[in-house]
């Protein structure tokens, strides 16, 4: 859900007729890239249970990502091979594009965009990260439905 919200926030800017995209490059990059990160992290999770009460109640369940970090390529390669293959296949079906080149191109966009004030130069493919974000949302959802 969070991945979709960051994607939707970027889409509001992207699709607005009265906004100059050049004035919102970094928010667009960060929101699309963070959506990618959250989609990938949602594809695999681990469940951490709390202790069971004396009445047999489970107080809290915590589901968290099985991987850490912001580097999209690194996150992807830390996923199980079955998950990687499923996401790649679903991504290609959803977008008609190969996932790996886009992952490599946009791998560090979240950090680079978030800390752009520390960088000298650089460029971003807005259409590339947008395609990656939407494709990963769709691919991870489809993969999850097919492997539930």
At residue 87 the predicted structure's pLDDT band, cuts being 50, 70 and 90, is very high
Question: In this structure, what DSSP letter does residue 122 have?
Answer: -
* Cβ count within 10 A of residue 58: 10
Given a cut of 80, is residue 115 above it in pLDDT? no
Q: How high is the pLDDT of residue 103? A: 95
Q: What is the pLDDT of residues 21-37, one digit of tens each?
A: 889 999 999 999 999 99
Q: Are 18 and 116 in contact (CB under 8 A)?
A: no
- Work out the angle between the directed axes of helices 126-146 and 2-14 (0-180°, nearest 10): 150
| Through-space distance between the first and last CA atoms of the chain, rounded to whole angstroms | 17
Answer whether 59's CB lies under 8 Å from 51's CB.
yes
| CA separation for the pair 37, 124 (Å, rounded) | 17
Q: What pLDDT score does 113 carry? A: 80
HSE, side-chain direction, 13 A CA sphere, residue 17: 0
d(CA 39, CA 139): 9
Q: What is the DSSP letter of 98?
A: -
Question: What are the DSSP E strand ranges found in the chain?
Answer: 45-49, 61-65
Looking at the predicted structure, is the pLDDT value of residue 148 above 70?
A: no
Residue with tokens 């791998």: 107
Instruction: Supply the pTM of this predicted model.
Output: 0.83
- Minimum mean pLDDT range among 11-15, 49-53, 92-96, 105-109: 49-53
């Amino acid at each position: 859900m969070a991945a979709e919200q960051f994607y939707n926030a970027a889409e509001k800017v992207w699709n607005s007729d009265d906004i100059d995209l050049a004035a919102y490059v970094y928010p667009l990059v960060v929101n699309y890239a963070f959506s990618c990160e959250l989609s990938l992290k949602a594809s695999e999770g681990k469940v951490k249970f709390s202790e069971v009460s004396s009445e047999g109640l489970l107080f809290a369940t915590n589901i968290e990502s099985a991987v850490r970090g912001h580097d999209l390529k690194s996150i992807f390669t830390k996923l199980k091979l079955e998950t990687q293959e499923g996401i790649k296949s679903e991504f290609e079906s959803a977008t008609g594009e190969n996932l790996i080149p886009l992952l490599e191109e946009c791998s560090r966009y979240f950090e680079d965009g978030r800390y752009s004030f520390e960088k000298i130069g650089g460029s971003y493919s807005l259409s590339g990260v947008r395609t990656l974000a939407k494709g990963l949302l769709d691919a991870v959802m489809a993969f999850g439905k097919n492997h539930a």
